[in-house]
Amino acid sequence: MSRFTFWTERPARQSGVFLLLLAVILAAFLWSVGLDAHSLPFPPEAEFSDAVISHWPNALFLRRSVLDDHALPLWRPLLMSGQPFAANPLNKVWYPPQWLVLLVPPTLHLNLLLGLHLLLAGAGAWTWARATELGPFAAALAGFGYALAPRVIAAAGAGHLDLVYAAAWVPWLLWAIQCAVRPDPARYAAPALALFAALLFLADVRLSAYAYVTGAAYGVWLWGRGAALRTRAGLRRVGRTVIVAGLLTAGLTAIQWVPLLLLTPDLSRRAITPDEAALHSLKWGQWIGLLIGDHGGGWETLVYTGVSALLLAILALVLRPRALAFWGTALIVLALYALGDQFILWPLLTKIFPPLLWWRVPPRAWLIAALIVPYLAAWGAQIVAEHPPDSRRVRLGLVALLGGGLMCAITSGVMLVPPLELSAALGILALPAVVLAVLLAVAGRLRGTALIALLGVIVLADVLWIDRTLIEGRDRAEWLDPYQPLAEYLREQGATRVYSPGYSLPQQAAAYWDVPQFGGVDPFQLDAYQAAAEDATGVRAHGYSVTLPAFEASEDGEDMEIDLATVNRGAPIDARRLGAWLVTHVVAAFPIEAEGLTLERRLDGLYIYRNTFAPDVALAWDGPNRVTIRANTPYGGVLYAVANGRWQDPGDQLPGLPGLVRESDDAWTLTYRRSEVWLGLGLGAGLIALAAALGWVLRHA
């Protein structure tokens, strides 16, 4: 009896042991890179992280709105003079795990969600692998390889937590498809498929599209392989499951996509050009990164999946070409798509389906490959363990690969440093390590579960070796506390809104100390407001920008680092227009000469200006969705008290655009319309009811 039999013969114990081991490894890894209750993930040596700039303020605002104001936040007045909040998918209001922030502080909340989703990713890969007849040790290799996939960890390090959340549900979606596309689909197949598809969409709209396309193709492939499925009865059963699941998915996500569709005509993103959408498209030469990991490199262009996992995946495709052809084809398509405007595929697809431009950054599709490669690697390990290749040609190839891999690693380590980091060069050793293990199997020295376990350890060490260079935790003493004096001073001075041409008041600090900003960082921008802001700030974006004002390098140096403190130093500020938007203070790292701006104070190297053109208007917020506007002194002209949104006053008496307040001594109370929420809930409930009724009818027909 094998010493591993006690584990392999008990499915419940298998899952328990795997999850426990994965949880321990993930916890140890996240703790080792510095993530705790007071720190958030950053790319090493990078100045910014989306976790700090976007996700932390979003979670904080949701927590305060619900716990302190007892309101569901439909509007946020702190960013860009006010923005729709719940309708913005980036804010995760409708993503169920986000509500954990009501129980724990935002920093701990984000780190818990990160660890939980990495665990879910590994568990999903394990579950799907087991459903496709991979053994427990091979499935564990897939689970470890995906949970710690360098591309996923790089996304976490960059603070792209929504991508990590969505990545966790991809293998669960594929598992649900596996359960649905069979001669007699499980009764839970449609609800499971809908649940995971909905969670994926609510986690990240962008990655969900790639996962849906991959999943649909996978389902068609499974259907084509099953003779029993191609019968009329089989097709009817599978079709019923898919249709019901589709309606359920649409119903479960309507609360998000309905408001988003209503706002789409008003968003600046609708005007994005192909050149702007092709941001970070991979160059052909960057595919060398499949063999040599870019340690600490660019997270958007990282393609390394682990050279050990890659070799095992190639072995699987060579040894079982017909059985695994779909996944080999999927990898090729994903690679060609990730090339963006460097190849014909992406431009052709965007012409056929222009909304695809909204997705931007084509290499993000490679996150799907981050699952496929370890899955194929698991098959490679199992195939070699059960049926080692005995072809003389294969043996010679393995020997050549072993020698070549060792020579590359040694040569790189000795001769190519510093052009190639030593850590990256040493990572190549994973290649000869896998080849040596396979040669031992071919020679009959190592077989079965012992071989798979060894290969799993090699893959795990391979990905961890690069993962440690892709993420680090930084304490709030670095990204929040230094801005306390500035934020508290602005609050003491009664700042209604603050504008900074050079990001002198970071978004997370403004959110924490409740300092409303005229600008901000968010891809979800109202087009009319962006145009008005450009007129007021004198900073005009050369195309689509996620920041307001835009921060751009000079035209002849697009790869130059931008000095945010001084990047917009020469922009002609129009203080009168800023005043119309109730901007009372301007903060910059350089002196400003503009009519209406008077220097109020120097603080920590910053210039703080009072805008004398700002009228004496008070905004009294009663929670996030209701504001009372009072003009305490006469003011000629119009006052934009809130940005364009779906607002109403008790009598609907305000003329012009919603949120447009004319000069008056009276006070107006504006309430954000909840119609989009009720419409989303109503439509969602209707679709769910339709799915239930249709499922019952089809099942009893």
pLDDT in tens, 242-278: 999 999 999 999 999 999 999 888 898 888 999 999 9
DSSP, residue by residue, 42-89: E-TT-S--HIIIIIHHHHHHHHHHHHTS-S--SEETTSTT-EESTT-G
Average pLDDT over residues 100-115: 97
Question: Containing H/E element for 611?
Answer: strand 606-611
User: What pLDDT is recorded for position 228?
Assistant: 58
* Residue pair 573/584 in contact by the 8 Å Cβ criterion: no
The type of residue at 520 is G
Average model confidence (pLDDT) across the chain = 87
> Is 518 domain-assigned?
yes
- How many Å separate Cα 233 from the centre of its chain? 40
Phi, psi (deg, nearest 5) at residue 452: -65, -40
Question: Can you tell me the distance from the alpha carbon of 343 to that of 337, in angstroms, rounded to the nearest whole number?
Answer: 8
Paired tokens of 440: 């031992």
How many distinct helices (H) and strands (E) make up the chain?
A: 26, 16
pLDDT: is 282 or 698 the higher one?
282
- Report the number of distinct structural domains present in the chain: 3
User: What pLDDT is recorded for position 422?
Assistant: 58
583 and 623 co-located in one domain: no
* Residue pair 502/565 in contact by the 8 Å Cβ criterion: yes
> Is 430 domain-assigned?
no
At residue 34, does pLDDT exceed 90? yes
Question: Containing H/E element for 672?
Answer: strand 667-672
pTM of the complete model: 0.92
DSSP, collapsed to helix, strand or coil, labels residue 133 as coil
460 and 503 co-located in one domain: no
527 and 661 co-located in one domain: no
209 and 60 co-located in one domain: yes
13 and 101 co-located in one domain: yes
Residues 407, 413, 419: CA angle, nearest 5 degrees? 120
DSSP, collapsed to helix, strand or coil, labels residue 602 as strand
CA-based nearest residue to 608, from 616, 598, 623, 617? 598
> Is 238 domain-assigned?
yes
> Is 621 domain-assigned?
yes
Average pLDDT over residues 627-652: 59
H helix intervals, 185-293: 189-203, 205-225, 232-263, 274-277
User: What pLDDT is recorded for position 653?
Assistant: 44
At residue 2, does pLDDT exceed 50? no
Q: Is 520 exposed, middle or buried (0-12, 13-18, 19+ CB in 10 A)?
A: buried
The pairing of strands 39-42 and 472-475 is antiparallel
Question: Can you tell me the distance from the alpha carbon of 525 to that of 441, in angstroms, rounded to the nearest whole number?
Answer: 58
Average pLDDT over residues 85-107: 96
* Residue 599: partners with Cβ closer than 8 Å, 6 or more residues away: 591, 607, 608, 609
Average pLDDT over residues 675-695: 93
User: What pLDDT is recorded for position 646?
Assistant: 63
530 and 465 co-located in one domain: no
> Is 226 domain-assigned?
yes
Question: Tens digit of pLDDT for each residue in 407-427?
Answer: 555 555 554 444 456 566 666
Instruction: Name the CA radius of gyration of the chain, rounded.
Output: 28
User: What pLDDT is recorded for position 610?
Assistant: 97
Reported as a pLDDT band with limits 50, 70 and 90, residue 654 is: very low
* Residue pair 505/588 in contact by the 8 Å Cβ criterion: no
> Is 683 domain-assigned?
no
Edge-to-edge order in the sheet of strand 626-631? 617-621, 626-631, 667-672, 647-648
Question: Can you tell me the distance from the alpha carbon of 226 to that of 530, in angstroms, rounded to the nearest whole number?
Answer: 54
Question: Tens digit of pLDDT for each residue in 118-157?
Answer: 999 999 999 999 999 999 999 999 999 999 999 999 999 9
Q: Containing domain of residue 647, as a range?
A: 617-673
Query: Of 176-190, 479-493, 590-604, where does mean pLDDT reach its minimum?
Result: 176-190
The pairing of strands 597-603 and 606-611 is antiparallel
HSE, CB side, 13 Å, CA atoms: give it for residue 26: 29
- Residue reference for tokens 């002209």: 637
Question: Tens digit of pLDDT for each residue in 44-84?
Answer: 988 999 999 999 999 999 999 999 999 999 999 999 999 99
HSE, CB side, 13 Å, CA atoms: give it for residue 595: 4
Reported as a pLDDT band with limits 50, 70 and 90, residue 388 is: confident
The type of residue at 570 is G
Question: Can you tell me the distance from the alpha carbon of 647 to that of 626, in angstroms, rounded to the nearest whole number?
Answer: 9
At residue 86, does pLDDT exceed 90? yes
At residue 373, does pLDDT exceed 50? yes
At residue 585, does pLDDT exceed 90? yes
Paired tokens of 507: 């978004």
Question: Can you tell me the distance from the alpha carbon of 612 to that of 379, in angstroms, rounded to the nearest whole number?
Answer: 70
Cα four-point dihedral sign 403, 409, 414, 419 = positive
User: What pLDDT is recorded for position 660?
Assistant: 42
467 and 500 co-located in one domain: no
CA-based nearest residue to 74, from 697, 574, 670, 693? 670
Reported as a pLDDT band with limits 50, 70 and 90, residue 636 is: very low
498 and 366 co-located in one domain: no
Question: Can you tell me the distance from the alpha carbon of 426 to that of 428, in angstroms, rounded to the nearest whole number?
Answer: 5
Q: Is 259 exposed, middle or buried (0-12, 13-18, 19+ CB in 10 A)?
A: buried
Peptide bond into 418 cis (omega under 30): yes
User: What pLDDT is recorded for position 88?
Assistant: 95
> Is 435 domain-assigned?
no
490 and 468 co-located in one domain: no
Paired tokens of 533: 């802001």
> Is 424 domain-assigned?
no
* Residue 28: partners with Cβ closer than 8 Å, 6 or more residues away: none
161-180 and 205-225 helices, crossing angle to 10°: 20
108 and 206 co-located in one domain: yes
User: What pLDDT is recorded for position 361?
Assistant: 94
User: What pLDDT is recorded for position 618?
Assistant: 83
Average pLDDT over residues 682-692: 95
Question: Can you tell me the distance from the alpha carbon of 434 to that of 455, in angstroms, rounded to the nearest whole number?
Answer: 7
253 and 363 co-located in one domain: yes
At residue 452, does pLDDT exceed 60? yes
pLDDT: is 240 or 34 the higher one?
34
Reported as a pLDDT band with limits 50, 70 and 90, residue 553 is: low
543 and 653 co-located in one domain: no
Question: Tens digit of pLDDT for each residue in 166-222?
Answer: 999 999 999 999 998 887 777 788 999 999 999 999 999 999 999 999 999 999 999
DSSP, collapsed to helix, strand or coil, labels residue 369 as helix
User: What pLDDT is recorded for position 417?
Assistant: 46
pLDDT: is 689 or 541 the higher one?
689
pLDDT: is 18 or 288 the higher one?
18
DSSP, collapsed to helix, strand or coil, labels residue 601 as strand
User: What pLDDT is recorded for position 651?
Assistant: 47
User: What pLDDT is recorded for position 534?
Assistant: 93
pLDDT: is 343 or 646 the higher one?
343
User: What pLDDT is recorded for position 284?
Assistant: 93
Question: Can you tell me the distance from the alpha carbon of 575 to that of 533, in angstroms, rounded to the nearest whole number?
Answer: 11
Residue 300 DSSP label: S
